[in-house]
Amino acid sequence: MTRLNTYSKRGFTLVETMCTVAIIVTLLAITTVGITDHLDRAHSTANVVLTSRKNLDAIDGEAFSNDGHSVGVGDTTPANTPSAPATSSDSEAPKSTSGNSGIIASTNEISSDIAEAAAEEAVAEPDDEMTAEEAARAALIADVASSISSYAEAHGVDYLPGTEDLPTIIATAEVSAQALYEQRGFTDPRYFKYNLATGEIITADNDGKSMTCYDGQNMIKASLNEDAAENINKTTDKNTPNLRTQITSDYLNDSSKYIYIGVNKNSDGTYQIVPNICIDVNGNFNSIITHTFKNNRATVNRDTYNANNPSKSWDGYVAYVTNASGEMFDLSKADLSAFTSRKSNSTQNSQWMAYVQSLRTAN
């Protein structure tokens, strides 16, 4: 018998074929997902890079602008731009005025054109955290402070430690006083008190029709012994010859201390703004000890002005606290080397008043 060898010629079964196809499809799906995810990440990375480059270009453009000033990354306002100060509920941002706006003076008023331009620019592009009104106010204060700083630099003002911001403080007081004057609808001269510690602005003596200052530079007595002045009761002994107070850092933080600002609206709509501030005999910014001045108008002749018995009017106040140009007094050039006693004599007082009077009349 012949043995026959038989071989099976059967192929893959349907189940085996389907399993094979399923494996292949699964592998393809996994590969496709991986490739797609990789491409998505690549596109995202490219977008991040492009965005970063655009941001860097924008920062470079801001940091090295045409005006040559470098601005740090993240800054939203130029350096030295003050924030809106605290004021009483009665105050508001001053309105733009036509003509001139007094800054550190009365008759020598500084034009408001610069201030208005700065305010308009601030309103056009206000800081995100400031309203347009706050931005305009801040711009106006910055402009006034710049004028006061320039005046101080020209006259060699020496700032006591902690009082370096006095130009901005005085400017804030002036802008706040004008704002409250406008809000109250005053048309005659008024006096205002600015609280140095709180930033509150109020009318002096209730209605602003009068003012008296007991702190600061003595204008009619020659003796200026500061050690003795420290022991004076400024309420009961306010006429003591050498009463004098310095605006120190402690003074600025004392909520009982004020500086006075006089405001008058002229017939042409401009403002006469007269702070009760001078450069004292030590070369520091200081307030001025005054008589009680009222807000009535009276003709005052500077050439015959009597500081011992001046007109107690608005015009008398202006003549008492400003020089012939309507600017702050600079009393630092006075020679007081001979005035060392606690109580100056009549001759010394006459010499001192003659010197101050010369500043009231000399251009």
Place 128 in a pLDDT band, splitting at 50, 70 and 90. low
Angle between the N-to-C axes of helices 166-184 and 132-154, in degrees from 0 to 180, rounded to the nearest 10: 130
Is 9's pLDDT higher than 90? no
The answer to the question of residue 84 being in a domain is no
CA distances from 36 to 31, 45, 48, 333 (A): 9, 14, 18, 83
DSSP class of residue 163?
A: -
Residue partners of 322: CB distance under 8 A and separation at least 6: 105, 106, 107, 274, 328, 329, 360
In a domain, 186, yes or no: yes
For residue 229, is it within any domain?
A: yes
> pLDDT category, 121, cuts 50, 70, 90?
low
Kindly state whether residue 157 falls inside one of the protein's structural domains: yes
- pLDDT for 221 equals 83
Residue 176 lies in a domain: yes
In which band, very low, low, confident or very high, does the pLDDT at 353 lie, cut at 50, 70 and 90?
very high
219-231 per-position pLDDT tens digit: 988 765 555 444 5
Those residues whose C-beta lies under 8 Å from the C-beta of residue 98, and which sit 6 or more positions away, are 112, 268, 269, 270
User: Does residue 20 belong to any structural domain of this protein?
Assistant: no
Direct distance between the N- and C-terminal alpha carbons of the chain, in angstroms, rounded to an integer: 150
CA distance 1 to 4: 9
How far is residue 59 from each of residues 65, 127, 293, 325, measured CA to CA in Å?
Answer: 10, 17, 55, 46
Q: How far apart are CA 351 and CA 236, in angstroms?
A: 27
More confident residue, 77 or 88: 88
**Nearest partner of 92 among 3, 199, 19, 181, judged by Cα:** 181
Pairwise pLDDT comparison (55 vs 143), residue with the higher score: 143
| Vertex 265: Cα angle to 188 and 101 (nearest 5) | 155
Distances (CA, A) of 357 to 105, 163, 308: 17, 28, 11
* Window from 43-52, 220-229, 275-284, 352-361 with minimum mean pLDDT: 43-52
The mean pLDDT of 54-82, rounded to a whole number, is: 37
Task: Determine the pLDDT at residue 61.
Answer: 46
Structural domain contains residue 67: no
Measured in whole angstroms, the distance separating CA 142 from the mean position of its chain's CA atoms is 5
The answer to whether 355 and 334 are in contact (CB under 8 A) is yes
Query: Which residues constitute the domain of residue 257?
Result: 100-361
Q: What is the pTM of this model?
A: 0.66
pLDDT of residue 44: 58
Average model confidence (pLDDT) across the chain: 75
Q: How confident is the model over 100-116, as a mean pLDDT?
A: 44
d(CA 83, CA 80): 9
Residue type for 360, please? R
User: Is residue 53 situated within a structural domain?
Assistant: no
When divided into structural domains, the chain yields a total of 1
